Structure 1
Amino acid sequence: VQDTGSGMDARTRERAFDDFFTTKATGSGLGLAFVRRVAEAHGGTASLTSGEGHGTILRLRLPAAPVSQAPASEGEAA
């Protein structure tokens, strides 16, 4: 996803995925943190590329196949 906004400085990029970090007066700071958590839970990644005055690109990468899970222990439901 790419925008044409004002971009992020180095400090903002560094903290963008932190819980409760926001640059908005009414933001919760959970959006990008949640996106990264969901991507990683599915074996993927979320990353940012941004430069002041150049907009921001969010790359979300997910595996083409489900991440295999360890088989359930004997007596556990699969």
Structure 2
Amino acid sequence: MVRTQIQLTERQARELKRMAAREGVSMAEVIRKAVDAKIREGVSEVPWEERVRRAMAVMGKFHSGIKDLAANHDKYLAEDYMK
């Protein structure tokens, strides 16, 4: 590992400490996880805006025929997992 030094605001440091305590890890581990997530986000081959555009383009194009799907989606999902 490479040792580095950063400066945080009081709020950032406070929230990082809380997150680390809640997860049972060090502040450094929380920061490493955040950096990994940011790196993965930046590595995507398709830009975020394009992914959003594609998702919006397919909304409403598929129909299940189930009238109460929005209200009972958890029930239907659990039933499907039991198959």
Instruction: Give me the TM-score of the superposition, normalised by structure 1.
Output: 0.26
Question: Larger helix proportion, structure 1 or 2?
Answer: 2
Instruction: Give me the TM-score of the superposition, normalised by structure 2.
Output: 0.25
Question: Larger strand proportion, structure 1 or 2?
Answer: 1
Q: Taking CA–CA contacts closer than 8 Å with sequence separation of 6 or more, which of the two structures ends up with the larger relative contact order?
A: 1
